[in-house]
């Protein structure tokens, strides 16, 4: 089996889908890797590093697509809807593509890939089960986002994070409130605490209280009766607007007392819930900072604009997009490890095997045999499996 790695074409995407250190592990499983020249440059991985580990450098993107049985990307067509369309003419029937592709929302891209006869695998659809943890790109990239969110906030806040005893008196520590204690939230808590801030956190799942406290944060308990916040696949799901309304009311005073608010609530295939209203922003003191990690999904703050910084009443609302690409070296290392583990899962004696009886394969397979086959994607399309594309 030959796996092809191409240079990412999405604007400002600096990650690469495979790093040199993992090539020997793939080679032992009978997987050869070919790389478009310069594919890893932006992330800090040069062509000679790939060749030193057994990779083969090809001069053009077209040559990689022509040679490879499987093309691994950070952003396949759905997650790269404009520039990614030029790859369609390079794909061939029966070829496999693995990457992030926004399959629940970019359904026209799913259809386009199906029409080409491609076996498309979406890394975002990895089941949240124990044996798939090492392939979970959402968790890997959320770790980076949580860390960077704290750095963004610290850079914009007109205060220092730690308490300091100085000759000029005592400097009070910054107060950080993290909304959502998933992977990104927990990393944000840990990073803010290491910088010396007083950290509070809230999550709809009371069970994460112990995790928050283990990182040195204080868990904010709101007396709310919530239904399960996770779907059968282990991903966050939408709760009723009534619940979100009560949650916002109870968070008002906590947000007002915070110097920094970091929000992390994103729901796959859905608009992010509004957790911080304009009223709550107006209650914060001048110089406070909100970092909205759900900006690409519409934002958890009512005033967020994706890719921009909004100032409202002296409060900065930062809506960062594609944070992992701003730390491309380690983001690529983590993403490539997820991809390599998934490739080894799919490979049998060096051949690609698509076993739809396997939970991991079935959960991530979007298109096969000219059709959209993934049940969650078909549901999003409003199409039954019998009438799949």
- Catalytic entry in 66, 111, 128, 231: 128
Contact in structure between 372 and 109 (CB atoms under 8 Å): no
Q: Which of 1, 70, 67 is nearest to 32 (CA)?
A: 1
Indicate if 133 belongs to the active site.
yes
- Catalytic entry in 235, 247, 292, 368: 235
Indicate if 335 belongs to the active site.
no
Indicate if 92 belongs to the active site.
no
Q: How far apart are CA 212 and CA 190, in angstroms?
A: 9
13 conformational bin, left if phi > 0, alpha if psi -120 to 50, beta if neither: beta
In Å, what is the CA distance from 194 to each residue of 166, 257, 317? Answer: 20, 20, 23
Q: What is the DSSP string of 136-160?
A: -HHHHHHHHHHHHHHHHHHHHSSS-
Q: How far apart are CA 41 and CA 286, in angstroms?
A: 41
List the end-to-end C-alpha distance of the chain, in Å, as a whole number: 28
- Catalytic entry in 87, 136, 259, 292: 136
- Catalytic entry in 139, 140, 333, 368: 139
Contact in structure between 237 and 183 (CB atoms under 8 Å): no
- Catalytic entry in 60, 86, 133, 253: 133
**Residues in the chain, overall count:** 389
* Residues with catalytic roles: 128, 133, 136, 139, 235
């Amino acid at each position: 089996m030959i796996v092809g790695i191409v240079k990412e074409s999405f604007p400002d995407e600096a990650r690469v889908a495979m790093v040199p250190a993992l090539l020997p592990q793939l080679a032992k499983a009978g997987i050869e890797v070919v790389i478009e020249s310069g594919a890893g440059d932006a992330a800090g991985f040069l062509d000679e590093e790939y060749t030193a580990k057994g990779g083969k450098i090809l001069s053009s993107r077209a040559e990689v697509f022509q040679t490879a049985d499987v093309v691994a990307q950070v952003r396949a067509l759905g997650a790269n809807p404009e520039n990614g369309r030029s790859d369609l003419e390079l794909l061939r029937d029966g070829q496999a593509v693995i990457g992030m592709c926004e399959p629940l929302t970019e359904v026209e891209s799913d259809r386009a890939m199906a029409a080409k006869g491609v076996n498309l695998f979406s890394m975002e659809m990895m089941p949240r089960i124990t044996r798939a943890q090492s392939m979970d790109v959402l968790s890997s990239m959320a770790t980076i986002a949580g860390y960077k969110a704290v750095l963004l906030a610290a850079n914009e806040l007109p205060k220092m994070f730690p308490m300091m005893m100085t000759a000029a008196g005592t400097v009070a520590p910054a107060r950080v409130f993290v909304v959502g204690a998933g992977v990104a939230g927990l990393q944000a808590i840990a990073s803010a605490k290491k910088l010396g801030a007083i950290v509070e956190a809230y999550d709809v799942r009371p069970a994460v209280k112990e995790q928050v406290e283990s990182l040195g944060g204080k868990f904010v308990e709101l007396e709310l009766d919530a239904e399960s916040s996770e779907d059968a696949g282990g991903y966050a799901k939408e709760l009723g607007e009534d619940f979100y309304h009560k949650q916002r009311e109870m968070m008002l005073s906590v947000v007002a007392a915070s110097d920094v608010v970091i929000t992390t609530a994103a729901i796959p295939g859905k608009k992010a819930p509004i957790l911080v209203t304009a009223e709550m922003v107006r209650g914060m003191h001048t110089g406070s900072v909100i970092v909205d990690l759900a900006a690409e999904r519409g934002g958890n703050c009512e005033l967020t604009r994706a890719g921009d910084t909004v100032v409202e009443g002296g409060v900065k609302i930062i809506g960062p997009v594609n944070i992992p690409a701003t730390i491309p070296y380690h983001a690529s290392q983590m993403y490539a490890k997820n991809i390599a583990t998934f490739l080894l899962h799919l490979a049998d004696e060096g051949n690609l095997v698509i076993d739809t009886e396997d939970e991991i394969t079935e959960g991530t397979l979007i298109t096969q045999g000219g059709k959209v086959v993934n049940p969650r994607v078909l549901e999003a399309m409003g199409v039954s499996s019998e009438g799949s594309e």
